[in-house]
Structure 1
């Protein structure tokens, strides 16, 4: 094949976007199947955004030459190693003739800062009545977004430069159009993760997840035994969740276990970790139950001191297995927990919240009335949070972990005090135990 006459095409798993921010252009080439992303330089971006299958290499060289003022020969010489590298890394391929239709144009938008991730609650309908549910899920919520509205929202999110969408509920598998919603998101393409209780996962569900290229499925595990787990979630939910994990694992779909820490699990936490290891779980989070929804005022939530004791058990187990964490579990991109910086939560009725841990009273807009971009740019709440700093808190100011902790969970502090601020005692407990990270990485 004559390379100059061929048509470079970005692989379907990749998205390319440019966000004009207050600090300059934020450009991404993002693999939605692996969640790996790269920030290309301007020259690489200019070439990559033209890899839509409707222009030959020769035509692209001509365009870049006219744009830059450099000779076509110089452009071709510079492009040759770049194209080879992109082919070797399976980022582009060359078609012998034009694509009909071509790939969509790259997304370009003006934002104060990039909004990379959205958590979308597609329904409050749930088949369980978990004692600690932060959203009080159960029956379908009045005025939930229609399928058509969700489709339009996904289009809007893609054009806003969003990279990743987390589908949650309620129980998302109860939504009659879940797989259509996922297919719509993957076609943009956006990377998709699904949060589920696992009880409704069947071989057919797993097959469709695999076919759609879902990057991860998160399943809640609330105990090492059926007795403990079922006491919180319902009869037979433990066995069904375990069966779901086995089916997902056999299909090669990455699994994340969300472990809610409560009083009943404190003596079982190491046994839970042993189970996760036995099941081959790829990732897990261990977090205290939120003081909101059904758990508000309950007697099964734990104190920061109890959380610290549990984390000590966790770390001791990790060390014994040779798996001690030497870094933070979420890395530098979630410093300050992401509030106002990297994510939003959209509820099933269209209300937008800074994150799912805030109570329903905190709404910063509704997508039926205003665009996500307008909320992200102009919300007084978000702009207030962005101006706040953990260094304003006396306790945080002197803490050696302030750069990575950023003050902890603002939503948790709000639920406890009714005020926005920093100094989350549960985060303090975490860093008291996990204090052996490399501070120079963050």
Structure 2
């Protein structure tokens, strides 16, 4: 497949017109009293679930102690304070379902079951990244599916529906549809999610292509929770060059606008390249996200896979320190409590290891093959045929990308 990669600020067509960025209503709760009240209500709901699932005070205490140990491992002495409200539900983490919902209850149940088993299984899988199409109109610099792009499709709507049902049967509380560009299959997305059982939050990961106002409404009515929009620079020309399209920035901003209009949660996903990662760029990006009223910013570190294979793309130690400082400041700094929450998985991965490889999440590619994560692509069975349990066990045995533990 011949695809032209745009590596500078040139365009296949004429340069795009300036993009007007709207100022949208914030998703974040600005009031300390509101945050405290919602946090208290969520805590009360969790206690009720604990007693519903575990029955006895002794078992409840064991579960609480286990979850508190997990929080200390994940956050240390940091306390989650920020809360977003979208369409009547509340969110404290990107990869945790919103409360109140059946998906949130399912998430809590799986978390409890890790510490005090109560439902007769050992399933710990919380979320799945499900790639549903090889097709994409862009030529993104960092694409990890580069070698598969625009090849013949193998997944039918029935395949997607069957995989969703199989993962729901294993208590998966979040499914993220990716690609390629999944909005090219919006009809299939709507049909599959509309027919899914309660208990799972569904998200679509998109560049913004084909994310029209009409399609945003269709996704919401079908039962989607949120949209992750790839936006890799606060400067339109830089983002367009990175994505290989003069319309990429406009599409991303419009997608955020339309998603907000219909009540979808919005996450902006940033690939923090070596060229991008400066303090000035990170703060400018956060200001843009705040202006767009989004709930989350996700930071991804580039990996030498796909179109980046064989290249030195890892952030430097100084840049990693800068990303971690940004994560801590935006999430826990007193001056940023009404700014979007930052999800930076690399921060926690370096401290407690990877939770991919079917421990808490996995990746299913556009052929239905399962992998430890999108960046650790080594087929470990199929989600379409054979024993799914055996495939999940093979992923767990094989493990995920090895991260060196940072010096604490």
TM-score, normalised by the number of residues in structure 1: 0.59
The corresponding residue for 1:257 is 268
Higher strand share: 1
Provide Cα deviations, 1:302-321, integer angstroms capped at 9, x if missing partner. 32332323444565677483
Q: CA deviation at 1:325?
A: 11
CA contact (8 A) 1:129 1:137 kept: no
1:226 aligns with 2:236: yes
Equivalent in 273, 277, 293 of residue 306 of structure 2: 293
Which protein is bigger by CA-based radius of gyration?
1
CA contact (8 A) 1:109 1:160 kept: no
CA gap of 1:369–1:297, structure 2 versus 1, over 3 A, is same
CA distance in 2, matches of 1:327, 1:216: 16
CA contact (8 A) 1:115 1:160 kept: yes
CA distance in 1, matches of 2:209, 2:47: 30
1:375 aligns with 2:387: no
CA gap of 1:300–1:364, structure 2 versus 1, over 3 A, is closer
**What SS is found at the alignment partner of 1:120?**
strand
Q: Where do residues 38-53 of structure 1 align in structure 2 (5 Å cutoff)?
A: 38-42=49-53
CA contact (8 A) 2:295 2:341 kept: no
CA distance in 1, matches of 2:340, 2:164: 36
CA distance in 1, matches of 2:391, 2:119: 14
CA distance in 2, matches of 1:193, 1:166: 5
CA distance in 2, matches of 1:213, 1:183: 6
The corresponding residue for 2:321 is 308
Equivalent in 395, 404, 407 of residue 423 of structure 1: 404
Q: Where do residues 49-128 of structure 1 align in structure 2 (5 Å cutoff)?
A: 111-128=121-138
CA distance in 1, matches of 2:47, 2:121: 22
CA distance in 2, matches of 1:226, 1:205: 24
CA gap of 1:217–1:111, structure 2 versus 1, over 3 A, is same
1:349 aligns with 2:360: no
Q: CA deviation at 1:256?
A: 0.7
**What SS is found at the alignment partner of 1:246?**
helix
1:157 aligns with 2:157: no
CA distance in 1, matches of 2:274, 2:233: 11
CA distance in 1, matches of 2:148, 2:204: 18
CA contact (8 A) 1:129 1:138 kept: no
Q: CA deviation at 1:358?
A: 0.8
CA contact (8 A) 2:127 2:362 kept: yes
CA contact (8 A) 2:194 2:223 kept: no
CA distance in 2, matches of 1:375, 1:39: 31
Q: CA deviation at 1:109?
A: 8.2
* Structure possessing the higher relative contact order (Cα contacts under 8 Å, 6 or more residues apart): 2
CA distance in 1, matches of 2:271, 2:47: 28
Q: CA deviation at 1:180?
A: 1.2
**What SS is found at the alignment partner of 2:242?**
helix
The corresponding residue for 1:70 is none
Q: CA deviation at 1:269?
A: 1.8
Equivalent in 209, 233, 237 of residue 199 of structure 1: 209
CA distance in 1, matches of 2:342, 2:239: 29
- Aligned-residue Cα RMSD (Å) equals 3.8
Q: CA deviation at 1:257?
A: 0.9
1:321 aligns with 2:332: no
CA gap of 1:113–1:335, structure 2 versus 1, over 3 A, is farther
Provide Cα deviations, 1:365-408, integer angstroms capped at 9, x if missing partner. 013332322322x32x51354xxxxxxxxxxxxxxxxxxxxxxx
Provide Cα deviations, 1:154-197, integer angstroms capped at 9, x if missing partner. 22222223222111111101125221122233x35422111111
TM-score, normalised by the number of residues in structure 2: 0.63
CA gap of 1:264–1:228, structure 2 versus 1, over 3 A, is farther
The gaps in structure 1 that reach 5 residues or longer are 1-30, 45-88, 92-107, 386-409, 414-421, 433-442
CA gap of 1:306–1:272, structure 2 versus 1, over 3 A, is same
CA contact (8 A) 1:125 1:169 kept: yes
Q: Where do residues 205-244 of structure 1 align in structure 2 (5 Å cutoff)?
A: 205-233=215-243, 234-244=245-255
Q: CA deviation at 1:223?
A: 0.5
The gaps in structure 2 that reach 5 residues or longer are 1-41, 56-99, 103-117
CA distance in 2, matches of 1:203, 1:325: 23
CA gap of 1:288–1:272, structure 2 versus 1, over 3 A, is same
CA contact (8 A) 1:142 1:349 kept: no
CA distance in 2, matches of 1:294, 1:173: 22
CA contact (8 A) 1:124 1:137 kept: no
